[in-house]
Chain A
Amino acid sequence: MNNISPNSFRTGPDERGHFGLFGGRFVAETLMPLILDLEKAYEVAKADPAFHDELAHLAKHYVGRPSPLYFAERMTEELGGAKIYFKRDELNHTGAHKINNVLGQILLARRMGKKRIIAETGAGQHGVATATACAKYGLECIVYMGAVDVERQKPNVFRMKMLGAKIVPVQSGARTLKDAMNEALRDWVTNVADTFYCIGTAAGPHPYPAMVRDFQSIIGKETRWQMEELEGRLPDSLVACIGGGSNAIGLFHPFLDDKSVEIYGVEAAGHGLALPEGHAASLAGGKPGVLHGNRTYLLMNDDGQIIEGHSISAGLDYPGIGPEHAWLRDIGRVTYVSATDKEALEGLQLCCRTEGIIPALEPSHALAYVTKLAPTKPKDHLMVVNICGRGDKDIFTVAEHLGGM
């Protein structure tokens, strides 16, 4: 049913929030009026030049955009194929792409008169970005974080606290990102009047997947003109890691209708795809289901119970994926692949050694795939990999795996 290629890959979702089979609004009745309000408020903001001006001003002066498009010369030499460019979103204020989306949502929350902001976080990058924006605008900030993640992402927990956020370690379920999202939804159901739920990835009930994508699309838009400026043409391929998939959809979306551009999303294969509970690759190892407000590919057992994924990267350790990715996979516009924990660590080390850049474990998955793909391409092939976060937060995890260094 989804095999017919549309005229454009960029028109979704439909008015009910569907990307083909995926997306939708699978939420409790209590939240429905709020989601409809949010949708309206976002439509109004989207049509208001003042909203875009304010966001553009922040992107430039607060975040430090545009982030550079950088020619990774030594990595290119070492891999001996495609010319590799890094889209350097790790240089953003707060150290990851998450701030692009958060500032958009916080400006919207301000327009809607909401004073209390809640967020879920896995690796802590979205939590830090939300805490940052809330500090800037004097808003109350509550971040739900799985107790397991609180433990393995301590530097980010400390940063959030410094920024004045309240961290709630989530003890329910598997105590990671999916449970943090459950708990944030429970908070929202309870505090409907004054609370804005700032979702960190391009998932959740409509309009979140589309809205988060729109805010993250600045990554791909910049890449287009930057590549035009540097090379006088479009890139030949794009590579980005995928947990929920917000950095990836942000890079991909402006290029979806450029048929010459190959697009690769890299899921986390953890200990390996052969182990049902050993990876977080929901496209490779999951099937369509309904969780957290949308239909998408999910890791689950035959009874429809959600399986906790595994990845060395807390930011990719999620049993679902944004619905637009699920659709792009089924229609075949984007090629989805995966990288294991081990391959990601190798990608990370290569990047450190050849470029003097310590990437986060999340984009290290994208780098791992680049090490496979780049050597198969000619030297005039222009490849862009999104370095969506910096690696400071991961130094303890990496040290543990690489023997303390």
Chain B
Amino acid sequence: MTTRMEKRFALCKAEGRAALVTFLMAGDPDPKTSLDLIKALPQAGADVIEIGMPFTDPMADGPSIQAAGLRALAAGMSLTKTLDLVRAFRKADTDTPIVLMGYFNPIYVRGVEKFLGEAKEAGVDGLIVVDLPPEEDDELCLPALAAGLHFIRLATPTTDDKRLPTVLTNTSGFLYYVSITGITGAATPDYSKVAQAVHRIKAQTQLPVAVGFGVKNAQTAASLAAHADGVVVGSALIDALKNSLDAQNRATGTTLTAVTSLVSDIAHGVRSARKAAAE
């Protein structure tokens, strides 16, 4: 059976381009605006949507995503409401894959089986849980795969050839290559090194490889899209969102377009780095 995720990456590959994967935090800056934003993403050029599950202690995230999570929590966001957000999105869009991304504690506290059942029912396609390395696969990865959800793993510059097979085992949907050692929204990666890393990973897996961390604009996205099957952008979108808010962190008339216009720009960048379809 081909999943929504597999279809989408196959479609992008057939078009000879990388997929654009966008990240926004659920409930940022408030639940309603957040739903409007996420609904608008596919039209703006997003191929895959990652939705952050807010958490008080995001230990791998930089200031932008930390602040986004706190704004969402302050606006009353919760894991229950994040699942509601996915359900609401799915009413109008049954094609765009959705990945929930975050930290394990809210899922663990909710109950793994309960969460997986709800996520599948809501229309979630995959999970990225930052603080669950392969060593903890029993916790969520294996149950998620059994429930028919992709479990997308991160590989990093510290994932050497010896460790890579461990990371690839039980990874599904796509592999997320973190282009730098560091937190989200930090330094710009060294593109030649990223290209090497992507080739090294692709030699060991059939899975699409998406690259993220440090994608700021159309140009950086294009540089990565030339080498990878997908480009992930998060902090830059959240910065654009943040800059559109008023002094009390409330959405304004420009919030929606601030995000969608940047997504469109980056989508053009990704599409400009057209690759040979037969690669």
In the bound complex, what is the Cα–Cα distance between A16 and B80 (angstroms)? 32
A172 beta carbon closer than 8 Å to chain B: yes
* Nearest 10 pairs of A and B residues by beta carbon: A304-B106, A304-B109, A190-B182, A30-B156, A303-B78, A28-B60, A26-B131, A185-B59, A304-B105, A306-B56
Q: Does A189 contact B (CB under 8 A)?
A: yes
**A378 within 8 A of partner (CB):** no
Q: How many residues of B contact A (CB 8 A)?
A: 46
Question: Cβ of A79 < 8 Å from any Cβ of B?
Answer: no
A-B contact pairs, 17 of them (CB 8 A): A16-B135, A25-B135, A27-B131, A29-B158, A33-B160, A33-B163, A172-B66, A186-B59, A189-B183, A190-B181, A289-B105, A290-B105, A290-B108, A291-B57, A303-B78, A304-B108, A304-B109
Within 8 Å by CB of A29, from B59, B103, B133, lies B133
Closest Cβ–Cβ distance, residue A141 to chain B (whole Å): 21
CB distance from B63 to the nearest CB of A (A): 7
Residue of A nearest to B178 (CB): A30
B62 to chain A, nearest CB (A): 8
CB distance from B182 to the nearest CB of A (A): 4
- Shortest distance in angstroms between A282's beta carbon and chain B's nearest beta carbon? 13
The answer to whether residues A287 and B109 also contact, given A28-B154, A33-B159 and a CB cut-off of 8 A, is yes
Using known A-B contacts A185-B59, A303-B78, A304-B79, determine if residue A30 contacts B181 with beta carbons closer than 8 Å. Answer: yes
CB distance from A114 to the nearest CB of B (A): 15
The B interface is mostly helix, strand or loop, or mixed, namely loop
Q: What 1/0 mask marks residues of chain A from 276 to 302 whose CB sits below 8 Å from any chain B CB?
A: 000000000001111111010010101
Interface on B for A, CB 8 Å cutoff? 54-63, 66, 70, 73, 78-80, 103-110, 130-136, 153-160, 163, 167, 178, 181-183, 186
Chain A residues packing against B (C-beta within 8 Å): 16, 24-34, 172-173, 178-179, 182, 185-186, 189-193, 287-293, 295, 298, 300, 302-306
Contacts of B182 in A (CB 8 A): 30, 186, 189-190
Q: Could you say which residues of chain B place their CB within 8 Å of the CB of A291?
A: 57, 105
Contact of B59 among A16, A182, A191, A300 (CB under 8 A): A182
With CB as the reference atom, state the residue of chain B lying closest to A30: B156
Given the known interface contacts A26-B104, A186-B60, the answer about A289 and B109 at a Cβ–Cβ threshold of 8 Å is yes
Contact call B105/A300, Cβ cutoff below 8 A: yes
Complex-state Cα separation, A305 to B158, whole angstroms = 29
